[in-house]
Amino acid sequence: MAMTRRLLPISVFALLMAAIPFIPGMPPFWIVLLNNIGLAALVAMGLVLLTGVGGLTSFGQAAFCGFGAYTTAVLTTAYGVSPWLTLPLSLLVSGGAAVLLGLVTVRLSGHYLPLGTIAWGIGLFYLFSKLEFLGRNDGITGIPPLSIGTLKMLDAGTIYYAIWIAVLVCALLSMNLLDSRTGRAIRALRRGHVAAEAFGVQTPRAKLLVFIYAAVLAGLSGWLYAHFQRAANPTPFGAHAGIEYLFIAVVGGAGYVWGAVLGAGIVVILKEILQSYLPLLFRGEGQLETIVFGILLVLLLQLAPTGAWPWLMARLPFKPAAKRPDPSLTLPARARPALAPGALLRIDNARKQFGGVIAVNDVSFEVHAREIVALIGPNGAGKSTTFNLITGVLTSSGGTISVLGRNIDNAPPQEVARLGIARTFQHVKLVPDMSVLENVAIGAHLRGHAGAISSMLRLDRADEAKLLAEAARQIERVGLGDQIDQPAGSLSLGQQRIVEIARALCVDPILLLLDEPAAGLRHMEKQRLAALLRTLRDGGMSVLLVEHDMGFVMDLADRIVVLDFGTKIAEGTPDAIKSNPDVIRAYLGAAA
């Protein structure tokens, strides 16, 4: 049932597209336009995943089309290889190029990435136009058409089916990919890497994956283009084409797979209209359509930055169905290391210096099994920095940190998560446009196994259903069952902190690190939170929390560690801390 509901709109669209060439009196030129739309949509779809969803902007996608097109052009003309055999090779070459360029570029942060892509995009364009065996500026002509049996796809009307089948299949694969464990990891990338890594996502690998995926889609488009035009020359693979693909993705709505198709339709048709009518209006020479194009791009960003697809969807009478996880499914508990006697977490002379500032100054304390320890101190005491040292977000300047006797100094965050240490953040790090359910499911990342390929082919459903069921269970547990389908960004800040706790619980942790969990909560909510943490402790979990609400801390904690200016000034039971003169001085000043 769910299957048919999901596939129904796509099937209708597919039938519609299949019928178009049979419309009597259909001008052949329109079919050519539709082919161009399909080819552009393929590249833009890759950009949707790369830029809109993953937050990695590339101006260089046209170069990957070039790899696809030239691979088949050379192999079919110079070596007589069958076009169908060159398809995997084209994809392999564009994917391989993406691996090389991706290893270099995806690690770059922010604006370096798009700039890097402009540079190698132009470099590759010149390479295409100078290499002898690619025919230099003239390119390669006489590429054989695709053929099945005796049917040769010579005209626009037959290759039309090849192009649009590719578009539909890729759209389906892309949507499957996004709606999966790997997809959630990709969607989390846009909001920075710290949160995703805290739950075991290998962010560099996720970035490289989506980069390669986008390149392979572009390569496919290039391969189809070569057999559609039956020629390949450098022009369509240059910097301007790369810019245009990004424009298409933005026009359609950069976060939406179907936005790529819609955007391609709008831009290709608009360009056609501009090219045919502008010269009549302005009798001028030259690239008038480029001028209008540029101005439209700027206007669009100023007036409708989210693109056409979400605008269209908001006006549809029906809404997509929400996910209903099956509560009977359970994830097997993580294999736990045997709880050895002694400390669960031992921090020994941990130190962190930022230049001349010593944020954490040789701090030592322990957290034992089944214990709630609070880390308190005035603002700037080094509490969150200590959290970041434990979870591997920051590298320490000295000292050792060990979990169950195992040294985890400067282990990457993913490794720390694997040991069963889960955390929340002082500044909430959720993906605001993703539902509460999916945000929480990121916490279970390490407990699922499905990879990108099996997600695309929907072989991950059993694995995925268990992950979602676990996420739903933890959401119920923290008392947010009613908000499960809402976008996380629509919740109050206090509720978002609770969502973060649910996400951390999905790790099935042995130690929970909570950074100011009670901030922004109402009195009743705080009491519920305290009750939940006590239950967790009694169930065998340890909790280390940073909190400013003294009433909350004194009621809840078994032990308290007090930091001031990076140094531990006291440690003990709540009652001992309340009367400790050093603590009183730190909080209230010397006179008190």
> Where on the chain is the footprint of another protein (CB under 8 A)?
55, 57, 59, 101, 104-105, 107-112, 114-116, 118-120, 122-123, 126-127, 130, 190-194, 240, 243, 246-247, 250, 284-298, 301-302, 305
Nearest approach, Cβ of residue 229 and another protein (Å):
24
Closest CB to another protein among residues 165, 304:
304
Q: How far is the CB of 226 from another protein (least distance, A)?
A: 22
Rounded to the nearest whole angstrom, what is the least distance from the CB of residue 324 to another protein in the complex? 29
- Token pair 């006179």 in the structure block, residue: 591
Name which of 429 and 537 has its Cβ closer to another protein: 429
353 Cα distance to chain centroid: 32
| Rg of the Cα atoms in the chain | 28
Shortest Å distance, C-beta 251 to another protein: 11
Largest pairwise CA distance in the chain = 97
CB closer to another protein, 260 vs 456: 260
Integer Cα distance of 40 and 170 in angstroms:
13
Is 308 or 533 the residue whose CB approaches another protein more closely? 308
Q: Which is nearer to another protein, 65 or 393 (CB)?
A: 393
Q: How far is the CB of 243 from another protein (least distance, A)?
A: 5
CA angle 15, 20, 23 (to 5 degrees): 125
List the beta bridge partners of residue 350. 363
Instruction: Residue 369: name the closest of 527, 529, 559, 547 by CA.
Output: 559
The token pair that represents 440 in the structure block = 């929480």
The residue among 352 and 466 lying less far from another protein, judged by its C-beta, is 352
CA dist 581 to 273, 563, 584, 586, Å? 79, 14, 5, 9
Angle between helices 493-505 and 461-477 (to 10 degrees): 130
Nearer to another protein, 244 or 371 (CB): 244
Nearer to another protein, 38 or 236 (CB): 236
Please give the C-alpha separations between residue 398 and each of 92, 348, 362, 410, in angstroms, as whole numbers. 46, 9, 8, 10
Q: How far apart are CA 570 and CA 374, in angstroms?
A: 12
**Any idea what DSSP says for residue 487?**
B
- Residue 94 contacts by C-beta under 8 Å, 6 or more apart in sequence? 64, 65, 67, 68, 71, 215, 216, 218, 219, 222
Task: State the nearest-atom distance from the C-beta of 110 to another protein, in Å.
Answer: 6
**Min separation Cβ 403 and another protein, Å:** 24
Residue type, 558: D
H helix runs in 283-382, sequence order: 288-303, 308-314
Work out how close the CB of 298 gets to another protein at its nearest, in angstroms, rounded to a whole number.
4
CB nearer another protein, residue 142 or residue 286: 286
Least distance to another protein from the beta carbon of 503, Å?
Answer: 18
Return the bridge partners of 368, or none.
343
For the chain, first and last CA: distance in Å?
69
